């Protein structure tokens, strides 16, 4: 089965399934950011205290001008950074809850972040190897994850033999192989051309719907944010803070019908206006706070 038919099958399968839950606000919280703030050792105040709750099944996108702390907030949620003050709960507990009772977190970086010395299948198997999942159990899961992103044929390739879009798919397969409940994505498609990006957005929206994933996504693209999200958090800089929220109350899974609709254009306009306001609010308030990498 080719990548195109894979995608079509995925979208159809997702469309055939019931929605993940009754109402988003009735779902239990997966991540709670409780007055968490972040300053770096060099004195840069990346984030003012932030309160944010992400509930099961939500597709939440963080968007905002450069330096607003989107990536920093995502890394706090991934436990890659410690908050300077405040705290973060995962499934109403501390980070030890992650990995217990099937509660899994996966992170997709801006770059594919693959091991260049390992074949695609070995890259995808990495989180299972780190968990010491026996190879006979891991192998079919790896094959399934690769099939899911339309790369079943590339299992024995090396990352350098793949295009940018295919590498990103491998990275997504590596995230999916652990069957995560919480998927964190830091501008994963930022470096790709628009055509590839749209295809991957289609796949992602179908996947997250089918698997009932809770997803937190960072992007600079207004169109991508509107297409993917159930809720968008617009952030402002100096220091990084939540500026506004935009709810995208449109049925899932979405496809080209939504992308070409007037409703989509209206939502993009609304988000664009919110971003403009956030940019104005970011100017002249405190010292410049570069985005942490």
The radius of gyration of the chain from alpha carbons, rounded to an integer in Å, stands at 19
Q: Which is nearer to another protein, 51 or 131 (CB)?
A: 131
Q: Which is nearer to another protein, 40 or 158 (CB)?
A: 158
The answer to whether 182 touches 106, Cβ cutoff 8 Å, is yes
Contact positions with another protein (CB under 8 A) in 131-170: 131, 158-160
> Cα separation of 71 and 62, whole Å?
9
**194: burial class by Cβ within 10 Å (0-12, 13-18, 19+)?**
exposed
Query: If we measure between CA atoms, which residue out of 177, 182, 173, 176 comes closest to residue 57?
Result: 182
Give the x-and-dash track for 33-72 against another protein (CB under 8 A): ----------------------------------------
Among 2, 43, 116, 284, binds another protein (CB under 8 A): 116
Q: Which is nearer to another protein, 80 or 268 (CB)?
A: 80
> Cα separation of 136 and 121, whole Å?
13
Stretch that binds another protein, among 123-131, 145-153, 220-228, 256-264 (CB under 8 A): 123-131
Give alpha helix (H) positions in 18-100. 70-77
Among 21, 45, 49, 111, binds another protein (CB under 8 A): 111
> Cα separation of 148 and 142, whole Å?
10
Does 109 sit near another protein (CB under 8 A)?
Answer: yes
Q: Which helix (H) or strand (E) holds 277?
A: helix 262-282
Does 107 sit near another protein (CB under 8 A)?
Answer: yes
Site residue total, another protein (CB under 8 A):
22
* Omega within 30 of 0 (cis) for the link into 45: no
Does 105 sit near another protein (CB under 8 A)?
Answer: yes
The answer to whether 226 touches 264, Cβ cutoff 8 Å, is yes
Question: What token pair was written down for 198?
Answer: 């749209």
Does 79 sit near another protein (CB under 8 A)?
Answer: yes
Tell me the HSE value of 7 on the side-chain side, using a 13 A CA sphere: 15
Stretch that binds another protein, among 32-40, 103-111, 203-211, 268-276 (CB under 8 A): 103-111
Stretch that binds another protein, among 102-110, 140-148, 187-195, 254-262 (CB under 8 A): 102-110
Instruction: Give residue for tokens 């919480």.
Output: 182
Among 19, 99, 286, 290, binds another protein (CB under 8 A): 99
Q: Which residues bind another protein (CB under 8 A)?
A: 78-80, 99, 105, 107, 109-111, 113, 115-118, 126-127, 129-131, 158-160
């Amino acid at each position: 089965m080719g990548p195109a038919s894979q995608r079509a099958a995925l979208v159809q399968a997702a469309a055939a399934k019931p929605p993940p839950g009754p109402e988003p606000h009735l779902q239990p919280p997966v991540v709670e950011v409780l007055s968490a703030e972040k300053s770096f050792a060099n004195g840069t105040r990346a984030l003012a205290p932030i309160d944010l709750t992400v509930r099961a099944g939500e597709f939440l996108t963080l968007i905002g001008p450069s330096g607003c702390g989107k990536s920093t907030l995502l890394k706090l949620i991934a436990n890659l950074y410690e908050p300077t003050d405040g705290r973060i709960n995962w499934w109403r507990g501390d980070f030890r809850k992650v990995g217990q009772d099937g509660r899994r977190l996966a992170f997709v970086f801006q770059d594919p972040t693959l091991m260049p010395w390992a074949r695609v299948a070995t890259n995808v198997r990495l989180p299972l190897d780190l968990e010491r999942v026996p190879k006979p159990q891991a192998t079919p899961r790896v094959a399934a994850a690769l099939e899911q992103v339309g790369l079943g044929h590339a299992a024995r390739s090396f990352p350098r033999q793949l295009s940018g879009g295919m590498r990103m798919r491998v990275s997504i397969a590596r995230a999916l192989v652990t069957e995560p409940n919480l998927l964190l994505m830091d501008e994963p498609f930022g470096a790709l051309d628009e055509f590839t990006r749209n295809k991957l957005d289609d796949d992602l929206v179908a996947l997250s719907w089918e698997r009932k994933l809770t997803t937190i996504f960072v992007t600079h693209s207004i169109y991508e944010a509107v297409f993917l999200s159930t809720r968008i958090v617009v952030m402002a800089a100096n220091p990084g803070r939540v500026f506004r929220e935009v709810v995208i109350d449109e049925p899932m899974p979405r496809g080209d019908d939504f992308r070409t609709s007037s409703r989509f254009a209206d939502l993009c306009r609304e988000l664009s206006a919110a971003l403009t306001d956030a940019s104005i609010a970011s100017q002249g308030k405190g010292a410049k706070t570069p985005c942490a990498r």
